[in-house]
Amino acid sequence: MKIVIADHRKYNFASRSLKEAKSAAKHGHTVYWIGLSDTNVTFIDKTDGVIFYQIGKNEHNNFFLKIFSLLLINYYFTKVLKEIEFDILHIHDVKLFFIYLYGKIKKKKIIYDAHEIHYFKREKKSFRNYILNRFTLIVEKIILRLSTVNIQTNEERAFLFSKIHKTSKPVVIDNYDLPVINHSNNGIRKALGLQKFKKIIVMSGYISIGWLWAPDQVIISLKNTPQEIVFCMLGFYSDDTKNYLVNLARSLHLEERIFFLPAVKPHEVAQFISSADAAIVPIKSNSMNSLYSSPNKLYQSIAAGLPILASENRHLKKIILDCPIGHIGELFNVESTLSISSAINKLFSNYNFYKTNTMKASKEIFNWEIEFTKLNHIYNNI
């Protein structure tokens, strides 16, 4: 099959669509990935059997400029599609609305890969967000009429999605990653220059404070954990976020126990963090979307064989505590630093138990190679 995978995200933020593209190419499909460049430069590249079209885009903070920029992205993506022969158009999220229309006009098979529960992404009480939520709901309903197959990232989101739209349950393709085969002390431990007796807890991906993530709570919780435990934030963060967290750690005399590292490429994350000791996912359940989240940082960490420390919510409980192999980590109340420190101390007090379970689960259950067979079946039979 000739497949186009289109994603409005920048390359380094597009973990899910990138692994779909590379796995599809590995299984004999002709694959084109269209997304945004990490710079404002447009270029074409071929890697791992996938032809990548990376579209340059300038950043805008103004709401109306963002809307205009989104329309331009749809325009440039459509221009690329006109140059390509393809059978299947696999599109991520709702922002590429005009691409769905183009695919329908050309009578192509369309896959809608939703990622999120978009109607519940904005739950801050404001008239603007109410209007945006309603508009998104209408757009998504139109997309469902245009699509041949709909995909969601876990069972809970799929059920909620079908309830909102009064439609059949989407196919579930979870965000699993490829398990790391060769573990070593390189990667994050070497980058930090830390000896083996230091216990590294890593948070990867997008690092922010306030609305969704709580790395500040993790830093405060370190006060009640042994000195050898350190916290590393690896990924994307603003200067303001980093400065705030550094000053917070300094005020608590914990500055020598926190570290920052820049992001590595999506397919390198699991291998890079595999020399850490544990991973943490301090997500706030402040919306239905985050309550049923399947963050890449969770499954990249499991693929790395790292026991998981995570916020209490239904989906994370299912992954971490209800795993058929056994517990692969501990949960905490993200609003309580004492709860976080208690979970950290409990995990390291019985570390080998969690480590063994996580290593086994990464290969036998939360394995992208196994999960991709469901998506490949769709590609071959759509």
Do 195 and 79 share a domain, yes or no? no
Q: Is residue 181 part of a domain?
A: no
Q: Tell me whether strands 199-206 and 171-172 are parallel, antiparallel or unpaired.
A: unpaired
Do 98 and 231 share a domain, yes or no? no
Q: Is residue 309 part of a domain?
A: yes
Q: Is residue 280 part of a domain?
A: yes
Q: Is residue 230 part of a domain?
A: yes
Which residue in 88, 102, 86, 93 sits closest to 36, CA to CA?
93
Q: Is residue 180 part of a domain?
A: no
Do 98 and 116 share a domain, yes or no? yes
Do 247 and 372 share a domain, yes or no? no
Which residue in 267, 228, 237 sits closest to 12, CA to CA?
267
Do 199 and 321 share a domain, yes or no? yes
Do 128 and 239 share a domain, yes or no? no
Instruction: Compute the radius of gyration of the chain from its Cα atoms.
Output: 21
Q: Is residue 232 part of a domain?
A: yes
Domain count, the chain: 2
Tell me the backbone φ, ψ of residue 371, rounded to 5 degrees: -65, -35
Do 120 and 195 share a domain, yes or no? no
Do 24 and 164 share a domain, yes or no? yes
**The length of the chain, given as a count of residues:** 382
Q: Is residue 183 part of a domain?
A: no
Do 164 and 198 share a domain, yes or no? no
Q: Is residue 249 part of a domain?
A: yes
Q: Indicate which CATH number applies to the domain containing 147.
A: 3.40.50.2000
Distance CA(50)–CA(31), nearest Å, equals 5
Q: Is the pTM of this model over 0.95?
A: no
**pLDDT tens, per residue, the chain with 382 residues:** 999 999 999 999 999 999 999 999 999 999 999 999 988 888 899 999 999 999 997 777 777 888 898 999 999 999 999 999 999 999 998 999 999 999 999 999 999 998 777 777 666 667 777 888 888 889 999 999 999 999 999 999 899 899 999 999 999 999 999 999 888 778 999 999 999 999 999 999 999 998 789 999 999 999 999 999 999 999 999 999 999 999 999 999 999 999 999 999 999 999 999 999 999 999 998 777 777 888 899 999 999 999 999 999 888 999 999 999 999 999 999 999 999 999 999 999 999 999 999 999 999 999 999 999 999 999 999 9
- Note down the domain range covering 123: 2-175+368-381
Do 124 and 213 share a domain, yes or no? no
Do 193 and 66 share a domain, yes or no? no
Do 131 and 225 share a domain, yes or no? no
